[in-house]
Chain A
């Protein structure tokens, strides 16, 4: 019982981090109608940027985010402007290939500069643990800090999307691109900024991922498969779905890891996804796709 509670607690704390990365992916999907396969490697890139800043300039991980998030935001906008925007034909599939090509280039660059050795971010709050009251186990401080970080960022994202003019433009472009541009919204610009935001969220998620896991460039495959599964589970294009999907996924994996066996954690989750999609093909919060194949 304690183990399950422990799993649930860890799941809630780290689920927010996956929610950061997944909401980036789902936002990009919602507005641009593309699947960004590079999201996994961008998370790893964010982790390596934090690692580099910490090793080279001794910048604290959370302070470093003030540099990495804007940098990744610009990188995201540049990727959208240079490549995604050029796709006018068969966007869905070509976007998968283009973002995969970008992922390969970034993976190659990371292998070149950082080699394939596993690394992990270091800081005092990664090493030091706090005793959890009532449950009687120890947990590194980073889990709590990460939870606060993801609450702050997800809260600002919520405010941005639902309480600002830009957010209104974003949601309009999500609902109907043609109608949005007809009422004077600069849809390409909204798309570029959205892509930037999605990538910037990957930077934040990457830092926490790097502090809680050992990683190398190849970690991106595992990450992107998890992220895709999360957004399909939650319903593609739904921010709330990304949040719920992340928490559900992490809780299931953590409970399986603690109560059964680590090797089955991902399998159980993937099987649950397949079973869910049998009942609800559109995911938990997704809209049914109409007459479009």
Chain B
């Protein structure tokens, strides 16, 4: 069974690895693929914090923006030529985002639930305004230009694709390791009942802040790749509330708090968004279709694709073999208690 799983994973990795050269050597498709990978990095790392702890952050685009600006300004000031060299700055972008997450997390994590959500939204607008107004540093709405890439047609997207894929693999690995560690168990305990977790000796404040910073690092790197890929950086597209909502949407569609769910969500949402933009342009019809589809999916599959399939699969297996080890199932991830609607407020 384990062997089959590893084999399956290898097949998927190999497929994604040869996708842009072997299966669809086409600029338009590759561009969508790059955006999908960038989106997947953001949602996988967002899930490390929000999915595991249950604190829904709608402000991770702050780290996206910080990563992007750190990357852009560093490559501009150090006169780094376009090509592979700027990618060496990715860890720097991630570290800057992680460092920013420390004070922001310290402030925001003093609150819970709705207030936390709103504070994180406020962060996005604060930094969007700062990026627009601090023209000395960011050149305001004039934008910052990235180094030009030397790659020519048919080959332009591939470096971004593979770098994003590599970062994504690292992010997935970190997410998976955390999920199966004591640290991850502590985060899940915070999600289910924070006060009880604290009472049982989980250092909730430190755990939440650490998870927040780890997730910020990868979001920052995604922002940097995005900036380099798009070539020009504007405040409203780097500190973008739409990015936050897209992240939350991907995570919820796929399944919050699972390792695979966010990936599936990204695979579904970003290509759809790109397709609708291309097909209908900016006259509003794309938004209507996108919104309607998105609404329909939330209402039909409120728990997300992966948890829904998992429960179907479990039900199917149980019906085939009722004597199957029931002890094993008890250790499976059941629905966390806080996600189930409670009647009263008291």
Chain A residues within 8 Å of B, Cβ to Cβ = 29, 33, 35, 83, 86-94, 96-98, 100-105, 107-113, 116, 175-179, 217, 221, 225, 228-229, 231-232, 236, 263-264, 266-267, 270-271, 273-274, 277-278, 281-283, 289, 291-293
Contact = CB atoms under 8 A, between A and B. Distances in A.
A97 B287 contact: no
B338 A96 contact: no
B340 interface: yes
B299 A270 contact: no
A293 B121 contact: no
Contacts of A282: 115
B346 A176 contact: yes
A116 B282 CA distance: 10
Interface string B282-310: 11111111111011001100110000000
Interface residues of B, number: 59
A108 B285 contact: yes
B287 A228 contact: no
Query: Can you list the 7 inter-chain pairs with the closest CB atoms, starting with the nearest?
Result: A108-B287, A111-B284, A104-B291, A178-B344, A112-B284, A108-B288, A105-B291
Contacts of B288: 104-105, 108-109, 112
Given A88-B341, A229-B118, A289-B113, A97 B249 contact: yes
Majority DSSP secondary structure for residues of A touching B:
helix
Interface stretch (B22-30, B177-185, B187-195, B216-224): B187-195
Interface of B: 54-56, 58, 107, 110-115, 117-119, 121-122, 124-126, 129-130, 132-133, 190-191, 193-195, 241, 245, 248-249, 252, 256, 282-292, 294-295, 298-299, 302-303, 338-341, 343-346
25 contacts: A29-B114, A89-B302, A89-B339, A94-B298, A100-B249, A101-B298, A104-B290, A108-B285, A110-B284, A111-B284, A116-B282, A176-B346, A178-B343, A217-B284, A228-B118, A228-B121, A232-B114, A270-B125, A270-B126, A277-B119, A281-B112, A289-B113, A292-B112, A293-B190, A293-B191
Contacts of A100: 245, 249
Contacts of B284: 107-113, 217
A283 B126 contact: no
Nearest to B129: A267
Contacts of A274: 107, 119, 122, 126
B94 to A, nearest CB: 24
Contact of A289 (B112, B190, B248): B112
Given A93-B248, A105-B295, 16 more contacts: A88-B302, A89-B339, A89-B340, A90-B341, A96-B56, A97-B248, A110-B284, A178-B344, A217-B284, A236-B115, A267-B126, A273-B122, A292-B112, A292-B113, A293-B191, A293-B195
